[in-house]
Structure 1
Amino acid sequence: MDSIVELEHVHVARGNNVVLHDLSLRIDRGEHLAILGPNGCGKSTLLKTITCELYPVVRPETRVRIMGRERWDLTELKRRMGVVAAELPGRQTLSITGLDAVLTGFFSSSTLWPNLAVTDRMRERAEDILIQINAESLRGTPVGEMSAGQQRRIMIGRAMAGTSSNDLDGSVQMLLLDEPSNALDLTAQQDLREMLRTLAQRGTAILLITHHIADILPEIGRIVMMNAGHIVADGSKEDLLTAQHLGTLFGREIALTERDGYWNAW
């Protein structure tokens, strides 16, 4: 199976501090996995390293290959990987409609600036994405008038548009989601998870960054645990989602239950 991400002996510094230490990670095409760990453990830094927003410390043994390549134009890379940040949309995006917000994904822009030429094929693809994410009713609603859950849904649609902007064939190679359930109520969390399940079942690779056990979809079969900038465990969900492993990771006694493929811990 072709790999999407290959990291070997990666160290990443932010300012004067090294925050990722000797990380090695491979993610294969079509694979679904969750990167799990407490706040501040380096999960988001790892995501930014994968998307080439941060670069590793130069060392002879360090290697970073994304989709088989060591060098990328960042605009091109964004069109292959759909990144959904933890933050909700910015001010400029809040003033446009749901449909236009999805269309911005084709240009990696915050709004539809006058110089951007939206084609009929782009509009057709954006309408199809709204159907896939069950957001047709939001096509004419300003993003700023949407609930947090609806905004997150539209931002996922925007990421999907970006990944298919080269040929508009509708294929999405990978979605990278950073703490997707932040700021969502229980109903919105469940709606979001069910939508992501549908995308995973259609072949979209899901890379989920989270500290919420309940975010881990039934389709996710692999867990990577992080703590203090290190990968401390990497294995199957069945092996790692245990009270003992989670208690060690989060530094407290954990109780764990499973229902319909989802796990909850307290």
Structure 2
Amino acid sequence: MQQDSSAEKNRAKQIEVPAANGAPDAPAVPLFKIHDATVVRAGKTILHVDDFSLAEGEHVALLGPNGAGKSTFIQLLTREVQPLWHETPAVLFRGQARPLLRDVRQTMGVVSSTMHDQVRVHLPVLQIVIGGLYGTLGLPMGVRITDSDKASALDALDRLGIADLAKRDIMTLSTGQVRRVLVARELIRDPQVLVFDEPCTGLDPEGMYHVRETMSTLAAEGRSVILVTHYPEDIIPAIKRVMLIKSAAIFADGPKEEILRDEVLSNLFEVPLHVGEQDGWYSLRGVYEG
């Protein structure tokens, strides 16, 4: 009986929650954790990730050449692609190997230049944003706008400084304005993570400025920002971590002041490059001889 009692006490100590007296807390469960994940298509490995972890509220930028595996990496997070099977699950979402897809989609919002290409309908901006509640561009047939939906859409637009566009036809807007409307379309679901996949592609300097400002606004709200880009110029100061992807694998991962250096990016893109920095913003230019 004494042995049983001691065993019970030991088990109780192991599961005891630390009191609020300065005792160390248990390690936080990462938002995403990837270990030994391999994605194969047509018999070819298009991405392999040894180890990756992203904390709740953490920001990261992914840089790499075309075809390196950046988009596939994002699809691993969104569960659009699955890695080769292992007995130990390769991808965890908040510690779960098999989360409900709706939970992943509720947590993440994705904005890309590819999504922008799908905007081919003459609809008011307000309807485009409300469509984010249903995963559609515009409203599904038979759905009516409620006062609550309208208020949520206007709030999302207002937080991005474009509430005045609510009644405009989406097809009459500039490219930069449409890109920000698509951010509002994701924001209406209140996601904790925003993925920006090449968000400044096709934008003029004004559009780039506003999209980068939008990323800064969302980061300041405590949301995780995951940025996929070719250009250090897109990396807002709030993003402190940079991961490089090359030849279907993680090439480097660390603090941006260590990653965004001439020799590292020159090796990444295999051309001579020079990285500049001013007030937390980085720029990239080629080095030409002769």
Fold shared, TM-score > 0.5 on shorter chain: yes
Matches within 5 A, 1:41-120: 41-89=68-116, 94-120=121-147
Q: Is the 2:89–2:97 contact (alpha carbons within 8 Å) kept by the matching residues of 1?
A: no
2:58 aligned with 1:31, yes or no?
yes
- RMSD, matched Cα: 1.7
Instruction: Give the C-alpha shift of residue 93 in structure 1.
Output: 5.8
Task: Using structure 2 for the length normalisation, give the TM-score.
Answer: 0.84
SS of the equivalent of 2:76 reads helix
Q: Counterpart of 1:129?
A: 156
Letter in 1 for 2:209: Q
Instruction: Give the C-alpha shift of residue 260 in structure 1.
Output: 2.5
Aligned length: 258
Q: Counterpart of 1:247?
A: 266
Q: Is the 2:176–2:207 contact (alpha carbons within 8 Å) kept by the matching residues of 1?
A: yes
Q: Distance in 2 between matches of 1:151 and 1:69?
A: 35
Q: Distance in 1 between matches of 2:64 and 2:224?
A: 20
Q: Counterpart of 1:157?
A: 184
For structure 2, which runs of at least 5 residues remain unmatched after alignment? 1-27, 286-290
**Larger C-alpha radius of gyration, 1 or 2?**
2
SS of the equivalent of 2:141 reads coil
CA deviation digits over 1:15-59, x for unaligned, max 9? Answer: 332101244211100101101111110000110111001111112
Q: Distance in 2 between matches of 1:260 and 1:201?
A: 17
Which residue of 227, 235, 238 maps to 2:257? Answer: 238
Q: Counterpart of 1:167?
A: none
Instruction: Give the C-alpha shift of residue 257 in structure 1.
Output: 1.1
Q: Distance in 1 between matches of 2:173 and 2:40?
A: 37
Task: Using structure 1 for the length normalisation, give the TM-score.
Answer: 0.91
CA deviation digits over 1:111-150, x for unaligned, max 9? Answer: 2022335432222111111011111121111111111111
SS of the equivalent of 1:94 reads coil
Letter in 1 for 2:210: D
- Relative to structure 1, the CA distance from residue 23 to residue 177 in structure 2 (aligned partners, 3 Å threshold; closer, same or farther) is farther
Which residue of 202, 209, 212 maps to 1:193? Answer: 212
Q: Distance in 2 between matches of 1:112 and 1:256?
A: 45
CA deviation digits over 1:37-92, x for unaligned, max 9? Answer: 11110000110111001111112354211133222343442221011123143556
Q: Is the 1:88–1:152 contact (alpha carbons within 8 Å) kept by the matching residues of 2?
A: no
- Relative to structure 1, the CA distance from residue 67 to residue 85 in structure 2 (aligned partners, 3 Å threshold; closer, same or farther) is farther
For structure 1, which runs of at least 5 residues remain unmatched after alignment? 165-171
Which residue of 161, 171, 180 maps to 2:199? Answer: 180
After TM superposition, the structure 1 stretch with the greater mean CA deviation from structure 2, 83-92 or 107-116, is 83-92
- Relative to structure 1, the CA distance from residue 203 to residue 46 in structure 2 (aligned partners, 3 Å threshold; closer, same or farther) is same
Q: Is the 1:88–1:148 contact (alpha carbons within 8 Å) kept by the matching residues of 2?
A: no
Q: Is the 2:134–2:140 contact (alpha carbons within 8 Å) kept by the matching residues of 1?
A: no
Q: Counterpart of 1:169?
A: none
